[in-house]
Amino acid sequence: MNAETPEPPRRLTRAEAVLAARRRSFCIVLEDAHDPHNVSAVLRTCEALGIQDVHLVAELEDETILNPKVTIGAHRWLTVHRHTGAEAAIAALRAAGYRILVSHLDPEARLLPDLPATERAAYVFGNERSGVTDRWLAAADATFRIPTSGFSGSLNLSVAVALTVYDRLLGRPGARLPAGDLEDSEKAALRAAWYAELGRGNPERQSEYADWLARPVDPRPSFGIDRRRRSAPKAAPPEPPT
């Protein structure tokens, strides 16, 4: 980078690396999940593994309060969709082109690893106590279950989601986290929101970050490594006297 082009702030290079890895080819749907800890843990898992969209569905007005000690701010970088009722959520998912795959503890449900991992799909999880409602089962393109072999026939909600996301992304021999799949327009919308969030509470920083929206920032896949402050390699120890 030459002297006329300033070095972009580290926060923005990190944001661009995260943005380049973001995915919308599948999303997570939670129906009537009542435990704020579980919902918060799901958001943190999705954000950490690059899933951009989480849908929260409630039959009545959604009053889910996130636990900031669990999310560690993950919700700030996600697109969280809130729906009142299954019908509205199903319509939105269909409009976005998702197949609907519903987690269901039933012998007829397919094992998760047997489902194609490359299809555009919404993975739906029900209430911690009673599972999904019949409306989701009627709308499902397929039902699935996570294989287990213990006396406990079910898993904690947040654990089930984490295993599902991991299986979809990394559950194949030699798999690595895939590249992102956002359109340029989707990246631009998230970039504007993220840059504003990164500068929140500091007007000078907000103005600086807004200026960078018009300039390309190199997405360095360093994830927290400050290359400018990397220490020089240590000198090799002297050889012992002969």
Q: Is residue 232 part of a domain?
A: no
Is residue 109 located within the same domain as residue 210? no
Task: State how far the Cα of 242 lies from the Cα of 236, in Å rounded to an integer.
Answer: 17
pTM of the model: 0.85
Q: How many domains does the chain have?
A: 2
Is residue 113 located within the same domain as residue 92? yes
Q: Is residue 229 part of a domain?
A: no
Digit-coded pLDDT (tens) for 36-54: 889 999 999 999 999 999 9
Enumerate long-range contacts of 172-175, CB under 8 Å, 24 or more apart.
172/117
Domain with 121, as residue range(s), is 23-170
The strand pairing partners of 23, in sequence order, are: 51
Is residue 107 located within the same domain as residue 210? no
Across residues 84-99, what is the average pLDDT? 96
**Segment among 107-121, 140-154, 181-195, 208-222 with least mean pLDDT:** 208-222
233 — pLDDT class (breaks 50, 70, 90): very low
Digit-coded pLDDT (tens) for 158-189: 999 999 999 999 988 888 888 899 999 999 99
Is residue 125 located within the same domain as residue 215? no
Closest by CA to 141, choosing from 116, 160, 158, is 116
239 — pLDDT class (breaks 50, 70, 90): low
Is residue 125 located within the same domain as residue 43? yes
Angle 15-190-223 (CA atoms, 0-180°, nearest 5)?
15
Task: State how far the Cα of 20 lies from the Cα of 219, in Å rounded to an integer.
Answer: 7
Is residue 36 located within the same domain as residue 71? yes
State both tokens at 171: 């559950």
C-alpha distance from residue 103 to each of 28, 113, 122, 143, 154 (Å): 11, 13, 11, 6, 11
Is residue 201 located within the same domain as residue 125? no
Torsion of CA 189, 27, 11, 203, to 10 degrees: 50
Task: State how far the Cα of 184 lies from the Cα of 207, in Å rounded to an integer.
Answer: 23
Query: What DSSP designation does 235 have?
Result: P
Phi first, then psi: what are they for 181, rounded to 5°?
A: -135, 20
Is residue 111 located within the same domain as residue 207? no
Q: Is the pLDDT of residue 236 over 60?
A: no
Is residue 204 located within the same domain as residue 86? no
Task: State how far the Cα of 167 lies from the Cα of 238, in Å rounded to an integer.
Answer: 49
Is residue 190 located within the same domain as residue 164? no
